């Protein structure tokens, strides 16, 4: 009896697998061409796309293409020349669902939902056969503009764990640096500052190494520049620790660890800004899904200013303030040092907020963003290292030696 029951179970299972696969709900795919500077495009993105997402869920997959970038503009031109897709006029916002072309926010808002419903009532609607579409999606890493419909969003536990770890480091470091009681109790332990700075630099270096791959192409120089800056800082930390143990005062490039670190941050922020403005996509390496983060509502401040551009301005200002504080005297050096403290503290708070958004709100992680957060964390500890009195450093090194 048991054998017959077991056989019946396997028969039902084997029959049920293809039946359940065939019973998968239909999906409608679409292309949405837009420009960030287009108010009608932003109106659709803000007011209508969330409503469609609530109504259709994962059954409606929309690929958003920014025509401000060269690759997006090339795809827009290729779509206009594709047989079976009739362009009555050129402009944005423009949505293609199957062979239907909807131009203008009014037509899209009114006509797209019935087309989607009709497609879902049938067998679904595939992406239009536009030449270069698959290559475009592969090149920029695009899969979907919505985190819920992205097949990789939320399914990278390593990236999510890394982001949560970085978030914890940022939060603890902020508490140690901003809480007067904790600062009084822990800041005299200069060994903590040295170790924290070294761990921050090594963590940023490791995450940067995950970006190395045979397909990085022109990004090799960029990644190499970040790696070189971080390696220089790690070597500088080691030499400064040795000098501190001997009671010697660092000189030369050993006093430039903050601006060297900020240069690495400037390279990362510059890359993110260029990718956002040109819509060229961001390669994420082994960690996370940068495209999902880049296409989220949090990629631009107030929907206008790319977050990377804020990083470019911030890191640039940190470099200037650090050099002025180092080369000036009197009130100029004092105010430059205060400005440096203020900017790095503000950068730490902002980095903590952005890092929190990735695993808990956007549900996707950007490796470049993690590197920037770790670089800001490194700057936070380097600044405290600069503030340590040499006498206190000597006492700490003697205590550690015993």
Name the pLDDT band for 217 (thresholds 50, 70, 90).
low
When comparing pLDDT for 249 and 16, which is higher? 249
Task: Give which of 72, 84, 82 is closest to 136, Cα–Cα.
Answer: 72
- Is 54 a residue whose pLDDT tops 80? yes
Give dist(CA 257, CA 232) in Å, integer. 8
Q: Residue range 114-128: average pLDDT?
A: 90
Q: Where are the beta strands (DSSP E) in 59-104?
A: 60-66, 94-97, 100-103
Please list the alpha-helical segments (H only) found in 105-218: 105-121, 133-140, 157-178, 180-186, 190-209
Q: Are 64 and 41 in contact (CB under 8 A)?
A: no
Q: Kindly report, residue by residue over 383-396, the tens digit of the pLDDT.
A: 888 765 443 444 44
pTM for this prediction? 0.62
- Is 95 a residue whose pLDDT tops 80? yes
- How high does pLDDT run on average in the chain? 79
What confidence score (pLDDT) does residue 109 get?
92
Q: Is 31 helix (H, G, I), strand (E, B) or coil?
A: strand
Other CB atoms within 10 Å distance of the CB of residue 86: 10
Give dist(CA 350, CA 376) in Å, integer. 10
What confidence score (pLDDT) does residue 147 get?
37
Most confident of 27-41, 83-97, 263-277, 371-385: 371-385
Q: Which of 149-153, 164-168, 239-243 has the weakest average pLDDT?
A: 149-153
When comparing pLDDT for 161 and 72, which is higher? 161
List of residues 6+ apart from 11 with CB closer than 8 A: none
Q: Kindly report, residue by residue over 305-334, the tens digit of the pLDDT.
A: 788 889 999 999 999 999 998 888 888 888
On the CB side of 399, CA atoms within 13 Å amount to 11
Phi and psi at residue 86, to the nearest 5°:
-95, 115
What confidence score (pLDDT) does residue 202 get?
94
What confidence score (pLDDT) does residue 77 get?
87
- Is 343 a residue whose pLDDT tops 60? yes
When comparing pLDDT for 4 and 45, which is higher? 45
What confidence score (pLDDT) does residue 379 get?
94
- Is 352 a residue whose pLDDT tops 90? yes
Give dist(CA 369, CA 207) in Å, integer. 10
Name the pLDDT band for 135 (thresholds 50, 70, 90).
confident
Q: Residue range 143-147: average pLDDT?
A: 40
Q: Residue range 241-247: average pLDDT?
A: 80
What confidence score (pLDDT) does residue 315 get?
94
Q: Are 400 and 191 in contact (CB under 8 A)?
A: yes
What confidence score (pLDDT) does residue 150 get?
40
Most confident of 39-48, 77-86, 263-272: 263-272
What confidence score (pLDDT) does residue 23 get?
47
Give dist(CA 253, CA 251) in Å, integer. 7
Q: Residue range 56-83: average pLDDT?
A: 84
- Is 287 a residue whose pLDDT tops 50? yes
- Is 151 a residue whose pLDDT tops 50? no
What is the 8-class DSSP label of residue 67?
A: T
Domains annotated for the chain, with CATH where assigned, are 20-149 (3.40.30.10), 157-401 (1.20.1440.130)
């Amino acid at each position: 009896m048991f054998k017959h029951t077991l056989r019946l179970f396997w028969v039902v299972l084997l029959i049920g697998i293809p039946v359940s696969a065939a019973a998968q709900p239909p999906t409608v795919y679409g292309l949405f061409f837009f420009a960030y500077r287009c108010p009608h495009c932003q109106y659709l993105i803000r007011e209508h796309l969330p409503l469609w997402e609530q109504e259709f869920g994962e059954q409606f997959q929309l690929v958003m293409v920014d025509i401000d970038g060269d690759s997006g503009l090339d795809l827009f031109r290729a779509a206009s020349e594709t047989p079976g897709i009739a362009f009555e006029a050129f402009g944005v916002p423009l949505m293609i669902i199957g062979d239907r072309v909807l131009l203008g926010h009014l037509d899209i808002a009114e006509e797209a939902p019935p087309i989607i419903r009709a497609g879902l009532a049938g067998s679904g609607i595939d992406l239009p056969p536009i030449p270069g579409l698959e290559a475009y999606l592969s090149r920029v890493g695009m899969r979907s503009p919505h985190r819920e419909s992205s097949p990789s969003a939320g399914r990278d536990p390593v990236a999510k764990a890394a982001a949560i770890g970085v978030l914890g480091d940022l939060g603890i470091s902020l508490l140690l640096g901003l809480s007067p009681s904790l600062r009084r109790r822990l800041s005299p332990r200069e060994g903590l500052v040295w170790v924290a700075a070294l761990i921050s630099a090594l963590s940023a270096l490791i995450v940067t190494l995950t970006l190395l791959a045979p397909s990085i192409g022109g990004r090799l120089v960029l990644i190499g520049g970040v790696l070189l800056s971080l390696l220089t800082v790690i070597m500088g930390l080691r030499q400064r620790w040795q000098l501190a143990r001997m009671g010697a005062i660092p000189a030369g490039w050993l006093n430039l660890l903050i601006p060297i670190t900020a240069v690495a941050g400037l390279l990362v922020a510059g890359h993110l800004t260029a990718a956002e403005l040109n819509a060229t996509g961001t390669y994420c390496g082994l960690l996370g899904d940068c495209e999902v983060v880049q296409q989220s509502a949090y990629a631009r401040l107030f929907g206008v200013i790319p977050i990377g551009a804020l990083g470019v301005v911030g890191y640039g200002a940190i470099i200037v303030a650090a050099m002025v504080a180092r080369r000036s005297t009197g009130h100029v050096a004092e105010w430059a040092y205060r400005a440096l403290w203020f900017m790095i503290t503000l950068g730490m708070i902002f980095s903590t907020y952005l890092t929190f958004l990735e695993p808990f709100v956007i549900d996707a992680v950007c490796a470049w963003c993690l590197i920037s957060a770790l670089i800001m964390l490194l700057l936070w500890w380097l600044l405290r290292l600069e503030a340590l009195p040499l006498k206190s450093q000597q006492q700490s090194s003697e205590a550690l030696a015993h």
